Amino acid sequence: MDKERKLQVIRSSRRTISLEVKPDLTVVVRVPLRMRERDIQAFLREKADWIERTIEKLEKQTAEAQKDSLSMQELKQLADLALEKLPERVAYYASQVGVTYGRITIRNQRTRWGSCSSKGNLNFNCLLMLMPAEIQDYVVVHELCHRLEMNHSKAFWGRVEEILPDYKARRKWLKDHGAEIMARII
């Protein structure tokens, strides 16, 4: 690594070596218990370009997110809009899935798009309002299917697919774009 970076070496009973750059730009290298220090350093030198590119990408994403961060007023407006729009989508899809549900709550969360409690209460992230309608619908259907399967088993995904045959493309969109939307909450 060219520049002085925060480095964390984690030794465990693993067979392989892995590398990660955390959002705080800490470089984490996970290694087998008995791996020699010089082998770790050689690995880091070999991966130096990847580390620098990844750090630059994270720094750019952070700068963009800060520039586009949402104010408390904007978050409140998104929450109000979600409270207006999502209950009708939930009602529509609940009848298709064949389930009932309890209360619907809108939040501004940093890690989840939605959740479903064992009592049938649904929580949705207000940031869903920044996404295309088909992605909002995917999250709604995902949570409603948890009323039938409280896990992510093959049966669960089969139920999602019954309602949204193209759910994999919607899920991919969320994986590809979700982090940049989520980063707008500072």
| Per-residue pLDDT, 111 | 83
| Per-residue pLDDT, 1 | 52
Q: How far lies 78's CA from each of 45, 129, 176, in Å? A: 46, 6, 21
Q: Where, residue-wise, is CATH 3.30.2010.10 in the chain?
A: 72-182
Mean pLDDT computed over 10-31 = 92
| Per-residue pLDDT, 2 | 46
What is the topology classification, in CATH, of domain 72-182?
A: Zincin-like (3.30.2010)
What is the spatial distance between Cα 43 and Cα 17, in angstroms, rounded to a whole number?
Answer: 9
Residue 22 has pLDDT above 60, yes or no: yes
Q: What's the predicted TM-score (pTM) here? A: 0.67
Both structure tokens of 172: 């991919």
User: Between 183 and 8, where is the model more confident?
Assistant: 8
Residue 61 has pLDDT above 80, yes or no: no
Q: How many CA atoms within 13 Å lie on the side-chain side of 98? A: 6
72-126 pLDDT tens trace: 999 999 999 999 999 999 999 999 999 999 999 999 888 899 999 999 999 999 9
3-state secondary structure of 49: helix
Both structure tokens of 73: 């007023």
- Asked whether 5 and 55 are in contact (CB, 8 A), the reply is yes
Mean pLDDT computed over 135-164 = 97
